[in-house]
Structure 1
Amino acid sequence: MTTLDELDKRILQQLQVNNALSNQELANLVHASAPTCLRRVARLVKAGVIAKQVAILAPEQVGAGLTAIVEITLDHQATEHQIAFEQLVAKEVAVQQCYRVSPGPDFVLMIQVADMAAYHALAHRLFANQANVRNVRSFFSIHRSKFETALSLS
């Protein structure tokens, strides 16, 4: 784990709100010089603290308005079977997140697709055709009241 000082935290808080800030805008907001900000951000990227710099899209605006939360239970839970399942879902763009969980199911997936027909096709491809998938339990979002990507740095 990387040790973060107060300036690092201020930089990270600002970048979590708006990663499109120019270096000068960022420096002004965190009360540091532009060269200092540039060095700090580069260090945070190199250390892996900043894992990705992305644009977060509105799913309903790009034809991916159905969110499915899916619990998966495998027949065989040995590490190699879990890794094989993770590799399978990693190839699927619609699978936004994959978590190994305990207790309960083996995995929880967050899936974003256009509609139920698209979900059905994905479920058939990823789950029904896999001999090691024992149980699939799907929940469909009818309303998203909160969605955040920012982490607390306190």
Structure 2
Amino acid sequence: MIDMDKVNVEILEQLQSDGRLSNAKLAEHLHMSETPCWRRLKKLEESGVIESYQANLNRRKIGLGVMAFVQLRCSDHSQDATREFQRIIEDSPNILSCHNTTGDDDFLLVIVARDLDDYSAFVDSVLRKLPGVASIRSNLSLREMKASSRLPILL
């Protein structure tokens, strides 16, 4: 666990706002010289606090108009079925996230598709073919009120 002092928190907040921020600009925002800023940044990267950098895209502007929240219940929890299930999930770019959950269902997935026909085809060609799946329940997003990948950083 890395020490999350005020400077590290500020580095993470700045980078969550603008992942393309140069070290020089980051140091300027933090009122520190570039070398100590770079060292702190490298330490955050090497420790795994910062996993990667990416551009956040507007899904609608690239033609992904449907977002579905899918609950899956499995009947087969064998090691082989679980391994194959995980492989298919990881290989499916339409699946943004998959969580093993408590409650009546085993998994909660967030899935995007171009439209309802595309989503229906995805359900038929991918979800219904997952090993051990006993039931699939979909909830379609009617309106996205908040979407963020920013995490609150606590001291």
How far apart, CA to CA, are the structure 1 residues paired with 2:12 and 2:18? 10
Give, in angstroms, the shift of residue 20 of structure 1. Answer: 1.2
**Secondary structure in 1 aligned to 2:8?**
helix
- After superposition, residues 49-60 of structure 1 pair within 5 angstroms as 49-60=49-60
- After superposition, residues 20-35 of structure 1 pair within 5 angstroms as 20-35=20-35
The equivalent of 2:151 in structure 1 is: 151
How far apart, CA to CA, are the structure 1 residues paired with 2:144 and 2:112? 13
How far apart, CA to CA, are the structure 1 residues paired with 2:44 and 2:125? 39
Tell me: CA distance 1:47–1:131, structure 2 relative to 1, closer, same or farther (3 Å): closer
Deviations 1:5-64 (A, max 9, x none): 221111001101111111111111122211112111111111110012000100000011
> Could you tell me the TM-score, scaled by structure 2's length?
0.92
Moved over 4 A (4+): none
How far apart, CA to CA, are the structure 1 residues paired with 2:60 and 2:69? 17
The equivalent of 2:135 in structure 1 is: 135
How far apart, CA to CA, are the structure 1 residues paired with 2:143 and 2:67? 9
Tell which deviates more after alignment, 75-84 or 21-30. 75-84
Over the aligned positions, Cα root-mean-square deviation in angstroms equals: 1.4
Structure 2: gaps spanning 5 or more residues: none
- After superposition, residues 82-101 of structure 1 pair within 5 angstroms as 82-101=82-101
Give, in angstroms, the shift of residue 131 of structure 1. Answer: 4.7
How far apart, CA to CA, are the structure 2 residues paired with 1:80 and 1:29? 50
How far apart, CA to CA, are the structure 1 residues paired with 2:131 and 2:40? 48
